[in-house]
Amino acid sequence: MPEVHVKDLHKKFGDVTVLNDINFTIKEGEFFTLLGPSGCGKSTTLNSIAGLESPTSGSITVGGVPFVDTAHKLYVPTEERNLGMVFQSYALWPHMTVEQNLVMPLAIRKVSKEEKASRIYEALDTVGLAHLKDRFPHQLSGGQQQRVALARALVYSPSVLLLDEPLSNLDAKLREQSRAWLKRLQVDLGITTVYVTHDQDEALSLSDRIAVMFEGKMAQIGTPAEIYEKPATAAVAAFVGSCN
């Protein structure tokens, strides 16, 4: 059984269709990337998995649990989905220390005090920042903030990690370093990852498989080699072959 199963997903904002019949499955432990130009519907797809957007129709199942099934009026609220999410802007709380930022997701989940402390230590240790737990976000570099956001997403042991352009606010050099580090972490943790980017190099270097989207539609799903060497359409070839 796939870990993530998105079936016949449609989303309209008013009269505008932004997702048109999106289908894909993701295997357990896979690094799966939604790739496409700005506005093609990547974030809307990811947010639908996260429970931050409700699709107009379709179904989403994660780990065998139906999260959304519009045909049966089923909708599991976001806080019950056990997913870790990192946004483009990291969205750390600026008035809280690193440690306090990590406490918040656990506070909602009713975890004991001892477990909280050990989970926070483990999550920060995973991203190599346990020694900075008392700093505030403005006292961290962009790369460190990004790692804290990742630790916060990992702190309650999510089944799936959802990452929406997490490297796009970093400068080119740091982006390159973070890429390698992120891939290593994902492999070490063995966590199923849904990654969103408009950067074809990033997608090709990080992913087990890539789903290329244009204008709310799925153009092609395949391994980086398949996408690069056998693009299904001229649009995929042009997008994947172009340089940033």
**Nearer Cβ to Mg ion, position 61 or 207?**
207
**Nearer Cβ to Mg ion, position 102 or 162?**
162
**Nearer Cβ to ligand ADP, position 122 or 215?**
215
> Measured from the CB of residue 18, what is the shortest distance to ligand ADP in angstroms?
4
Query: How many residues appear in the chain?
Result: 244
Using CB under 6 A as the binding rule, whether residue 33 contacts ligand ADP is answered as: no
Q: Given the rule CB under 6 A, which of 37-45, 102-110, 134-142, 181-189 is the region that contacts ligand ADP?
A: 37-45
* 1, 15, 38, 225: residue in contact with ligand ADP (rule CB under 6 A): 38
CB 159 within 8 A of CB 3: yes
Using CB under 6 A as the binding rule, whether residue 15 contacts ligand ADP is answered as: no
Number of C-alpha atoms within 13 angstroms, CB side, residue 52? 13
Using CB under 5 A as the binding rule, whether residue 197 contacts Mg ion is answered as: no
Phi/psi-derived region of residue 129, left when phi > 0, alpha when psi is between -120 and 50, beta in every other case: alpha
C-alpha distances (whole Å) from 168 to each of 92, 98, 114, 153, 174 are 16, 21, 35, 18, 10
* 4, 31, 34, 43: residue in contact with Mg ion (rule CB under 5 A): 43
Using CB under 5 A as the binding rule, whether residue 45 contacts Mg ion is answered as: no
**201 burial class (0-12, 13-18, 19+ CB within 10 angstroms)?**
middle
Q: Given the rule CB under 6 A, which of 35-43, 56-64, 116-124, 203-211 is the region that contacts ligand ADP?
A: 35-43
* 40, 50, 102, 129: residue in contact with ligand ADP (rule CB under 6 A): 40
> Measured from the CB of residue 41, what is the shortest distance to ligand ADP in angstroms?
4
C-alpha distances (whole Å) from 100 to each of 88, 149, 167 are 20, 12, 23
Total chain residues near ligand ADP (CB under 6 A):
10
Footprint on this chain of ligand ADP (rule: CB under 6 A): 13, 18, 36, 38-44
